[in-house]
Structure 1
Amino acid sequence: MVALAIIIERLTSLRASRVAPPQLLDEVLTLTRSGLPSADVVQKLEASSPLGAVLSAGIRAASAGKAVPEAQVRTAFEASGRVVVHQLERYLSTLGSIATAAPLLGLLGTVIGMIEIFGAQAPTGGGGSNPELLAHGISIALYNTAFGLIIAIPALMFHRHFKSRVNELVLTLEQATDQLLPQLSGGRRG
């Protein structure tokens, strides 16, 4: 249930349109061409999306003075980007842990079931064992392993998908900051 909840939450949270709206960078580039926007516009930009949060950090750094060096703006982008990446990777370690632990827990259940089955057999060698009951007990014990794998396989697939998705989104954020950086540090302050 936890893995399913994480998968649903990450599917909705890691949409490109939510993290990096397609027109946002163009709007910010247009807005900053004639000068830096006001504080309330920057605050709205920050609240709009993770990309907006990163871009607004650079704009705030550029607003600090007349001749802000490019390195200072880049540092602001990077600091904000680390926070955003942490938010994008939220719950992924939990999903990875579920993918890793589920088959082990299933195997543990199977081993415990097998111990119980063999412990319940007659201790003497004289025909007290029923092979049909033994086979039925073993098949029931193996359900634990099957359930563990049923949980682990999709969890692992989605974990890897989400890690790849986060990497794509981080690249998009980096490219956006690279496009805005020259404009913020190019001396066009209003």
Structure 2
Amino acid sequence: MLEHLQAGGLLMIPIVFCSILALAIIVERAIALRKTRVVPPGLLPETWRRVKAGRMDDNGLRELRQHSPLGRVLGAGLANAAHSREVMAEAIEDVGRHEAHRLERFLNTLGTIAAITPLLGLLGTVIGMIKVFTVISLQGLGDTPAMAGGISEALITTAAGLSVAIPTLMAYRYFRGRVDELVIEIEQEALKLVEVLQGQRTNDLVGDAATENGREGR
């Protein structure tokens, strides 16, 4: 492995750095975007039980906002429960935009890595071929080891760039879809809370949660 890195030339340094950074982001996002961490099951029914029991005071709101992204969105709605539906919806949307931005953290960097690593590999290919043609122009076709070194550098950097870019692009696409899915679920949960507080929906959120859990179990 070390021999391949050395044969790839200086451009292997940024490619290896990109691979390490991409791996770190993938692991971090895989942990951060777990559904149980972003949209904890049963949080909405538990929040509604506390509201009906009169236990959702300032301390309760603070705990809810520290709980999860969904908790912060629900907290924004509860903090404006005395206002109209439009005010509640606006507060929820504002917090929701911030939470969506947090969920997308590092994804632009991941997409950038997926885009530039093939270009770094291509640049290495060009540099390697330049070395080959330089050897040919100066020494003719007789210096086979020198020519092989340039060709090897070209092929190794190309392979390394693609090897980093392909899984990184797959992870980027997956996490983008995951974020969209989680944002939609947060919006749905927040809408349920608004409708219950405004009297436009049955307050049996516990029953809704049990039904949803039953669907997930199947």
> Which residue does the alignment assign to 1:169?
182
Is it true that 1:40 corresponds to 2:59 in the alignment? yes
**Could you tell me how far apart the structure 1 residues matched to 2:141 and 2:64 are?**
76
Asked whether the equivalents of residues 98 and 155 of structure 1 are also in contact (C-alpha less than 8 Å), the reply is yes
Q: Which amino acid aligns with 1:2?
A: L
**Could you tell me how far apart the structure 2 residues matched to 1:146 and 1:55 are?**
48
**Could you tell me how far apart the structure 2 residues matched to 1:133 and 1:175 are?**
64
Deviation (angstroms), 1:79: 0.4
Q: How does 1:16-95 map to 2 (within 5 A)?
A: 16-35=35-54, 37-62=56-81, 65=82, 68-95=83-110
Task: For residue 142 of structure 2, give the secondary structure of its aligned residue in structure 1.
Answer: coil
**Could you tell me how far apart the structure 1 residues matched to 2:141 and 2:151 are?**
17
Deviation (angstroms), 1:31: 2.1
Is it true that 1:137 corresponds to 2:156 in the alignment? no
Q: Percent identity?
A: 46
| 1:186 pairs with one of 199, 203, 207 | 199
Deviation (angstroms), 1:118: 1.4
**Could you tell me how far apart the structure 1 residues matched to 2:54 and 2:31 are?**
35
Q: Which structure ranks higher in relative contact order (CA pairs < 8 Å, sequence separation ≥ 6)?
A: 1
**Could you tell me how far apart the structure 1 residues matched to 2:154 and 2:53 are?**
71
Asked whether the equivalents of residues 135 and 147 of structure 2 are also in contact (C-alpha less than 8 Å), the reply is no
Q: Which runs of 5+ in 2 are unaligned?
A: 1-19, 201-218
Q: Kindly report structure 1 stretches of 4+ aligned residues shifted beyond 3 Å.
A: 33-36, 130-133
**Could you tell me how far apart the structure 1 residues matched to 2:192 and 2:141 are?**
79
**Could you tell me how far apart the structure 2 residues matched to 1:35 and 1:171 are?**
29
Deviation (angstroms), 1:141: 1.7
Q: Which moved more, 1:30-39 or 1:8-17?
A: 30-39
Structure 1 length-normalised TM = 0.88
**Could you tell me how far apart the structure 1 residues matched to 2:54 and 2:146 are?**
81
Asked whether the equivalents of residues 124 and 153 of structure 2 are also in contact (C-alpha less than 8 Å), the reply is no
Deviation (angstroms), 1:180: 0.2
> Which residue does the alignment assign to 2:165?
152
